[in-house]
Chain A
């Protein structure tokens, strides 16, 4: 069996960047939204709708490997990039 030499990444992507990038590419772009701030309420600005919530939860569970409980799926916990980052960090402690 052969081995493949891989160049190690110089730095892992910062969690907040991963979250922001997912939301921008998968949720915001489809709605024609090209920018949002880390503190912005993504539900109120229309970036995250009812389906978007579960796409986001799916991203958190499958890509970031955290379990999101039903009680945590609400407009406060998933409000903004910052609050989503806090949720993930609290799970990884």
Chain B
């Protein structure tokens, strides 16, 4: 076992932090208030190589292993305070690029991956529906084969990146009699007739990441736009979720480290009753707990990423990482606010935004409850 980053990874991590601090922090509070997505950040990240990190070089990517990718995402979360933007990046990478890489035809990969990596296009997937969230495969969207095309009808909700999205992976059932085995993924480009992006949905947090409903009204797509095969939607979606649950909260780890360092600094400087407040165990204990949560979360995320770097599956480990880090991050945000007292509650101090953003981590990519179901399920429960 080796718990250290290689020299190359450590240098890359440092460079990502420098990039994120210098390039990805303008006007976060204002954009959060105005719900503005930072296009320029997207382009800068693409130029830096973030979107292409896990994609092989033959498609224009960096070809990084999962552990190195997680290292970079953690560094981004540490250096960049715009959690909504990072969420959009993650949605793009894990629910569009990764399934394209694993299930796409060579032609599909050549057509789409270079655009998704270069920052020219933004990707997203459409799974959740008004009536199907945790029970994802009970979706009602239907795809009916008509000659060499499919006609898709249905509605999706809570879809990330929609408003600026260029490539949609839409899940629909081609044969409801088969239940989950009829669920199929379709690649649909922006502007396709019948693909309708609804009004922006307003959220508690992650406000710089656009979200809306999507309607499919007699949306016709060529048969070659199927991702994988008919009925492989279940495998595609589970594959995406395994990746997403492994990697998406790496940026939370970075946020947790940033918060902890902010709290340590404040606890040393802020004096009450003649002493720095960090001298009081009520404060010191909170900071210690923040550190333990951070290190425990790292072990879980790194283990899942290591498994994937070895070419192995990590559904259980990814669920444990996602469950733990999402809940630990919320608690660390609450502790950071408590340590800062009234200041922590002020928008200017930015912790209330981190808390609002962190809460969503317990909901997206499978709620905490679903992660527990998956973990218990491995014991036949």
Residues on A lying within 8 angstroms of B by beta carbon are 25-27, 29-30, 43-44, 49-51, 53-55, 57-58, 61, 67-68, 70-71, 73-75
Contact = CB atoms under 8 A, between A and B. Distances in A.
Given A50-B137, A53-B235, 11 more contacts: A26-B380, A27-B380, A29-B380, A50-B234, A51-B377, A53-B238, A54-B316, A67-B311, A70-B235, A75-B232, A75-B234
Interface in B292-316: 311-313, 315-316
A75 B231 contact: yes
B64 interface: no
A55 B315 CA distance: 9
B312 A74 contact: no
B273 interface: no
Interface string B365-381: 00000000110011011
Interface of B: 102-103, 136-137, 178, 180-181, 228-229, 231-232, 234-235, 238-239, 242, 311-313, 315-316, 373-374, 377-378, 380-381
A63 B58 CA distance: 35
Contacts, number: 58
B239 A70 contact: yes
B316 A58 contact: yes
A53 B232 CA distance: 12
A26 B180 CA distance: 20
Contacts of B181: 43-44, 75
B235 A61 contact: no
A70 B102 contact: yes
A73 B178 CA distance: 17
A51 B374 contact: yes
Given A55-B378, A74-B232, A61 B137 contact: no
**6 cross-chain pairs, A with B, having the tightest CB-CB distances, nearest first:** A54-B315, A70-B102, A73-B235, A51-B377, A26-B380, A57-B313
